[in-house]
Structure 1
Amino acid sequence: MNGDAPRARHVAIIMDGNGRWAKKRRLPRALGHQRGVEAVRKVVRGARDLGLEALTLYAFSTENWRRPEEEVSDLMSLMKRFIVSDLDEFAEAGVRLKIIGNYQAFKPDVVELVEKAVERTARNSGTTLAVALNYGSQDEIARAASKAAAKGAITPETISAELDTADMPPLDLLIRTSGEVRLSNFLLWQAAYAEMLFTDVLWPDFTAEHLKAALNTFAARERRYGGR
């Protein structure tokens, strides 16, 4: 590795494996999602303590609507409880909450709760926690390209300026848990030159220590951006 070790500013995580975690233990799938929320708490605190500027979590994709209605309802209830229970801690810790994706498609009570949380933390200058809700990267790119075209030329720069993550640092590291090795329509544009890390750890078992280890792995890599 040449020069100083790279330092990650922005990490994104595809939080996968809640269902398999529960199945391995012969527990209801909903309990796996509950444990997944506990993992979110630990990792957000870890990201803050490790000095990350931004952490993006894939919470609910545009494809997740295909899941059984009861499971979608459970996920919405968990999300609401998480915001209510953890918002004070985030606000006091300087975490800025950001939503990417079309969260307005959710029920009005969810939309209102999300918007109030975003507004309450909008002036915080610590770690940005971006939560992808009803998010699909192809949809995001299409929206960004349409906005860029309405303003003039379509170039990589003008599209990047219209992405949901435009006000965040470039993506450095993308992690996926549970052993799956695919991006699942997540941050496709942003991941163009990001480092990838796939781990067999199921999301409910993922901790701040796993995040720290991932950052150490990132620091040992040589980023070439297409060069030699």
Structure 2
Amino acid sequence: MNPLKHVAFIMDGNGRWGLKNKNSRNLGHKQGLKTVEEIIKFSIKKKINYLTFFAFSSENWKRPKTEIDYLFKLLKNFLKTKINEFIKNDIKLKILGEKKFSKELNSLLNRAEKKTKNNCKIHINLAINYGSKIEITNAIKALNKKKIKINPHNLEKFLYTKGIPDPDILIRTGNTKRLSNFLLWQLSYSEIFFEKKLWPDFKTTDFNKIIVEYNNIKRNYGSITK
């Protein structure tokens, strides 16, 4: 059985699910948030230490403003209503990405991180305004500025995920097979599962099947298993 500490998710298909079932992309995003909550609860039961959810990429600003506004409205409501639950359930929240949002949203994000920073039952990374190429570029700039030798070990100290183990598994829903500029450095040895179901249709039973499959994989990390 392979150790499972960290699972990352590209939550693809919310908009398509919304159009198909509710004739509204926005309602798909709302339904997708319920899936996030179920995955968190299930992961706590499974004693998975880290989850990373790709919520909004640095490229998603190209989407219609009405959709972006609704996504951030959902996020603000989530932070306002769930922060006490996170504290009660010993859940830590960390934001990955560049906080270039409204003053209100930045304040809520900072508050959530501060209030949960000492929690340790499970660590939730929320990738918002995140782009892996920007993350790596910024890390290299930081190394140059501090005149630190550029090598993999030092570069990792300046990534958003400093101190966090790399994902053991990446799951992308929505029947799309690409990484979309997500955790390109951190996913170098992750097991990748592409799921046909749209994110709102992804259930804990689907997650568990992937975990079972993962446990049967021989992970060699470049070596040869005898």
Aligned to 2:151: 155
Q: Which has the higher contact order (CA 8 A, sep 6+)?
A: 1
Aligned to 1:70: 66
Q: CA deviation at 1:44?
A: 1.2
Contact 1:94 1:125 in 2 (8 A): yes
Letter in 1 for 2:23: L
Q: CA deviation at 1:208?
A: 2.3
Deviations 1:18-65 (A, max 9, x none): 111122225211110100111111111111121111000000100010
Q: CA deviation at 1:85?
A: 1.8
Aligned length: 223
Q: 1:170 aligns with which of 166, 171, 190?
A: 166
Aligned positions of 1:44-193 closer than 5 A: 44-103=40-99, 105-149=100-144, 150-193=146-189
C-alpha separation between the residues in 2 aligned to 1:45 and 1:89? 12
**Runs of 5+ unmatched residues, structure 1:** none
For 2:162, what is the secondary structure of its paired residue?
coil
TM-score, length-scaled by structure 2: 0.96
C-alpha separation between the residues in 1 aligned to 2:207 and 2:140? 33
**What CA RMSD, in Å, does the superposition of the two structures yield over aligned residues?**
1.1
C-alpha separation between the residues in 2 aligned to 1:59 and 1:210? 20
TM-score, length-scaled by structure 1: 0.95
C-alpha separation between the residues in 2 aligned to 1:196 and 1:173? 6
Counterpart check, 1:34 vs 2:41? no
Aligned to 1:24: 20
Aligned to 1:196: 192
Contact 2:170 2:190 in 1 (8 A): yes
For 1:190, what is the secondary structure of its paired residue?
coil
Deviations 1:176-211 (A, max 9, x none): 001100000000000011110100011011122222
Contact 1:137 1:187 in 2 (8 A): yes
